[in-house]
A and B are shown apart, each in its own frame.
Chain A
Amino acid sequence: MRNVRNFTLRLALIGLVLAFWEGAVAYFAVPRFVLPPPSQVFYGLYNGFGSGLYLDHLQVTLVETFMGFALGCCLAFLFGTMVALSRALEYFFYPFIVMFQAMPKVALAPIIIVWFGLGLASKVVNAALVAFFPLMVNTIVGLKSAEEDRVSLMRSLAANKWQIFWMLQLPNAMPYIFAGLEIAMIFALIGAIVGEFVGAEKGLGMLIQSMNFTMDVAGQFSVLLTLSFLGLVLNGMVGFLRRRILFWDAASKAEAAATSVEKASAL
């Protein structure tokens, strides 16, 4: 009952904000190219999807994001695993990791466009580059976080290095890896959009850019809404997989300490 009431209140608040926005824009006669009323945004959304224009661009951005995510994550997992398992690799690659981590990866987008052109490839590379680091770092930390006792147990059973990796380190790292995947998914979307800003023939980022030139601010807002919905769906997909695969993580954490933070985020 309480949940239903809270949910209604939540919806009412969103409605109230939209109504206030609509009213304020009309009352103060704010020009449309500065701040469009929500009704115009929804109209843009309706038009964009009705004409098939948004879906066309959405598909391009989606493909870029998925391919960039897949490429970046595969490389990040491989590289992270190698660094976590080999002291020598860690020692020699550490300076590169630190340097690239400090660099804002999106700033590389113009160079990537020069190297890979205006098509799909440059956006995939850009998305992969941005998605790479959160997963690589989490893979390294996760693989190195196996408890001393558990390693001793495996060693006492005369397990070799590979068995310790497959049976202990990798499952133990899964919560970290999934946290990295969730971030990487959103980052891949950011990478694809930034790539489209810099130079593209199609995609939602390119659409925002071209709407900016024609001062179609309502249209931009409607694409932004589409993007944030897309981000939610992508994040939800990884979250769904995580809950399926890491059923033991959530449950054992809840058993250890049912913290209020977790309860709050479960809302």
Chain B
Amino acid sequence: MDARTPAAVLPRDRTGDVIDVRGVSMRYSGAGGGVLALKDINFAVADGEFMAIVGPSGCGKTTLLKILAGLLGGFEGGASLKGTPIARPRRDIGVVFQSPVLFPWRSVLGNVMLPADVQRLNKVELRRRAMDLIKLVRLDGFEHRYPWELSGGMQQRVGIVRALVHDPAMLLMDEPFGALDAMTREAMNVELQRIWMERRKTVLFITHSVGEAVFLADRVLVMTPRPGKIQDELTIDLPRPRALEIMNTEAFGAYVKRIRLALNAGGVLD
């Protein structure tokens, strides 16, 4: 059992864990011993769980995501996905970046099929999955359009579909809605919840928006900077599907308040 789990969180069965992070520290080399980006990070994400990590910029959450995506080596401790250590990029992870990162020379369908092309997967089967997912995010009719013909929210939905098309065990999302305007962002949160409830993927969702984390997640890790560490962990016990109005409820407010307290305790003023 994870000794660092706060007492408020009930002991849980860890056999169904998809992600297991144990004692991960990361130091970027540089003058004066470098910068300690992550300090002794411990957590686990269960199969089908929606986990959010909330924290200010510079708290190391993107570093953590890069480690989990296999894009960054040289860290201490262990990170494993479905029981096998993460050492390099893996095919059973889908990543959604802050910007949609679409290739303008590929159509919507072409962008979505990128993982199939790279990993030489069955084109016919993947194409069918792609079309299903495109329908799921309500982009049907746009599959032969090009990225520049879509709005920012639509582009990011293409990015999400691309991360899901090869049926990864884990979806890593790095502030995927950070570049969108506030209203589109709320709509995308509702959309993401709907997709998640339909597909039940394990999600690790990184954000600097406290409200977004509480709205979407089953569990929230609060990270604070210098050095990046986990300040608090809480389970969000709100019924699903959650509508945007839930943000005005007392229970929602209590979660937000607790996260803000944890952030302040970690020296973050917002």
Contact = CB atoms under 8 A, between A and B. Distances in A.
A153 B70 CA distance: 11
A252 B118 contact: no
Contact of B88 (A158, A168, A251): A158
A34 interface: no
A156 B105 contact: no
B119 interface: yes
Contacts of B89: 155-158
B179 to A, nearest CB: 12
B256 to A, nearest CB: 31
A156 B93 contact: yes
B148 A156 contact: no
B28 interface: no
Given A159-B118, A248-B148, A153 B104 contact: no
B97 A252 contact: no
Contacts of A171: 103, 105
Interface string B79-101: 00000000011110101010101
Interface in B147-180: 147-149
B104 A252 contact: yes
Given A150-B103, A248-B148, A156 B119 contact: no
21 contacts: A152-B71, A152-B97, A152-B101, A155-B71, A155-B89, A156-B71, A157-B91, A158-B90, A158-B118, A159-B118, A163-B118, A167-B114, A171-B103, A171-B105, A248-B146, A249-B104, A251-B146, A251-B149, A252-B146, A252-B148, A254-B148
Given A167-B114, A248-B148, A252-B147, A156 B104 contact: no
Nearest to B147: A252
Nearest to A166: B117
B148 A251 contact: yes
A158 B119 contact: yes
B230 interface: no
Contact of A156 (B70, B99, B146, B149): B70
Contacts of A147: 101
Interface in B54-91: 69-71, 88-91
A171 B95 CA distance: 22
Contacts of A156: 69-71, 89, 93, 95
B115 interface: yes
Contacts of A155: 71, 89
Given A156-B89, A248-B148, A252-B147, 12 more contacts: A150-B101, A153-B95, A153-B101, A156-B71, A158-B70, A158-B88, A158-B89, A163-B117, A163-B118, A167-B103, A251-B148, A252-B148
Contacts of A157: 89, 91, 114-115, 118-119
Contacts of B69: 156
A255 B70 CA distance: 34
A147 B105 CA distance: 14
Interface in A125-160: 147, 149-150, 152-159
Contacts of B101: 147, 149-150, 152-153
A171 B102 CA distance: 13
A70 to B, nearest CB: 25
A256 to B, nearest CB: 8
A71 B77 CA distance: 55
A156 B115 CA distance: 10
Contacts of A159: 118
A256 B89 CA distance: 32
Nearest to B116: A157
- A158, A252, A254, A256 interface centre (most CB from chain B within 10 Å): A158
A165 B148 CA distance: 23
A79 to B, nearest CB: 24
Nearest to A147: B101
Contacts of B104: 248-249, 251-252
B15 to A, nearest CB: 27
A212 B108 CA distance: 60
Contacts of B95: 152-153, 156
Nearest to B90: A158
Contacts of A256: 148
Nearest to B97: A149
Nearest to A254: B148
Contacts of B88: 158
Contacts of B93: 156
A149 B99 contact: yes
Contacts of B99: 149
Nearest to A171: B105
A154 B118 CA distance: 8
A157 B90 CA distance: 7
A209 to B, nearest CB: 46
Interface string B185-215: 0000000000000000000000000000000
